[in-house]
Amino acid sequence: MFIFFVTKLSKVKQITFIIILAFFTAWLLFLQQQPYDSAFSTKSGPKAISRGDEATKKVALTFNLAWGNELAMPILETLKKEKIHNATFFISGAWAERHPEIVKQIVDEGHEVGSMGYAHKNYKELEDAEIRQDLQKAKDVFTKQGLKDIYLFRPPYGEFDKTILKITNDMGYTFIHWSNNSNDENSPGVARIVENVTKRLQNGDIILLHASDVALQTKKALPLLLREIAQQGYNNATISELIANTELKRKEVK
């Protein structure tokens, strides 16, 4: 009888552990799909935009681009094949400096370009003067390439705070985050990348994708993703189109 009781208790503990583990795993997955915790703004100060116009079925495909040279061209080829000519690419100045011909192709094919600074460093780890210097260095690179009016900015690694918001605002940038994270940089699988975006797609979503070589599965996932987005009745728009004259979704700095 005692042995039976101990065995039964052990099974209960195992089941309890499995339930707790499953809950914890589900919570982590949920957090990964939410806009980054620091996607905030101040009531009266600079704004961090994470979603655009919610009145129409439009979303914005955005691609971070800072490393490598293998994935950018296949991404562009897929967008062209699927007749998408209005994605938004957030490019680091250092990458643009190494690949001016690809930057030109991005622009020539109708896509919008935003800045991710120059060196793709975490701005929360830099001094204020270093942030300004990095932003200016990127601006100089883009200006030399004929892109004089870049005003969209996305922080490297998605990290920022009030100070970074203020600096970028003072330098004339509109600060763009995201509301829909594909998590493609972690290579979770082609089907999961598509699901991450489409299972909770909403009007005005700013979708985070990567055209850097770190996102190994993105080029396979992209055609499926674009077709699913279209099947759900959504049209793509540039960030500029999505945020023009709209009530934008923002969060406050705590």
pLDDT at 235 over 60: yes
Going by pLDDT thresholds of 50, 70 and 90, the confidence category of residue 15 is: low
- In angstroms, rounded to a whole number, what is the distance separating the alpha carbons of residues 181 and 163? 24
**Between 251 and 126, where is the model more confident?**
126
Measure Cα distances from 96 to 43, 162, 217 in Å.
34, 27, 23
What per-residue confidence (pLDDT) applies to 18? 52
User: If you average pLDDT over residues 72-88, what whole number do you get?
Assistant: 97
The SS3 assignment for 189 reads coil
**Rounded to the nearest 5 degrees, what angle is found at the Cα of 221, between the Cα atoms of 220 and 226?**
120
What per-residue confidence (pLDDT) applies to 32? 40
25-67 per-position pLDDT tens digit: 444 343 344 443 334 455 556 889 999 999 999 999 999 999 9
Going by pLDDT thresholds of 50, 70 and 90, the confidence category of residue 108 is: very high
- In angstroms, rounded to a whole number, what is the distance separating the alpha carbons of residues 111 and 130? 29
Task: Name the pTM for this structure.
Answer: 0.81
The per-residue pLDDT of the chain, averaged, comes to 85
What per-residue confidence (pLDDT) applies to 47? 83
Measure Cα distances from 38 to 35, 42, 160, 191, 194 in Å.
8, 12, 7, 28, 24
Going by pLDDT thresholds of 50, 70 and 90, the confidence category of residue 19 is: low
Residue 65, beta-bridge partner list = 91
High-pLDDT (> 90) share of the chain, %: 76
- In angstroms, rounded to a whole number, what is the distance separating the alpha carbons of residues 192 and 182? 8
